[in-house]
């Protein structure tokens, strides 16, 4: 009984950690791709630099919000598995 409970808590902690890592990698790749494509777009059309930069910043902020939400969910799963509840 106790070993089964500890195993499930350990798996939940491991899953939360892996999930948070995947979220961080995905957000980094997404923002890097946005930045690279924006720089390429500005190089092709320098007169549209303001519009491209504004759109790039808005999309990067949205990616950051989604990734922060996902990391918070992983943290809540880890805390709940460790026995701490809110």
Give residue 82's pLDDT: 66
Give residue 55's pLDDT: 95
Give residue 6's pLDDT: 72
Secondary structure in 3-state letters for the chain: CHHHHHHHHHHHHHHHHHHHHHHHHHHHHHHHHHHHHHHHHHHHCHHHHHHHHHHHHHHHHHHHHHHHHHHHHHHHHHHHHCCCCC
Question: pLDDT digit string (tens) for 18-46?
Answer: 999 999 999 999 999 999 999 999 999 99
Give residue 34's pLDDT: 96
CA dihedral sign of residues 30, 32, 34, 36: negative
């Amino acid at each position: 009984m106790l070993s089964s409970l500890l195993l499930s808590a350990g798996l939940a902690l491991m899953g939360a950690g892996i999930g948070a890592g995947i979220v961080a990698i995905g957000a980094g790749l997404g923002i890097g791709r946005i930045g690279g494509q924006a720089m390429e777009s500005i190089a092709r059309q320098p007169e549209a630099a303001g519009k491209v930069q504004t759109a790039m910043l808005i999309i990067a902020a949205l990616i950051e919000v989604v990734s922060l939400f996902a990391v918070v969910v992983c943290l809540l799963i880890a805390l709940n598995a460790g026995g701490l509840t809110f």
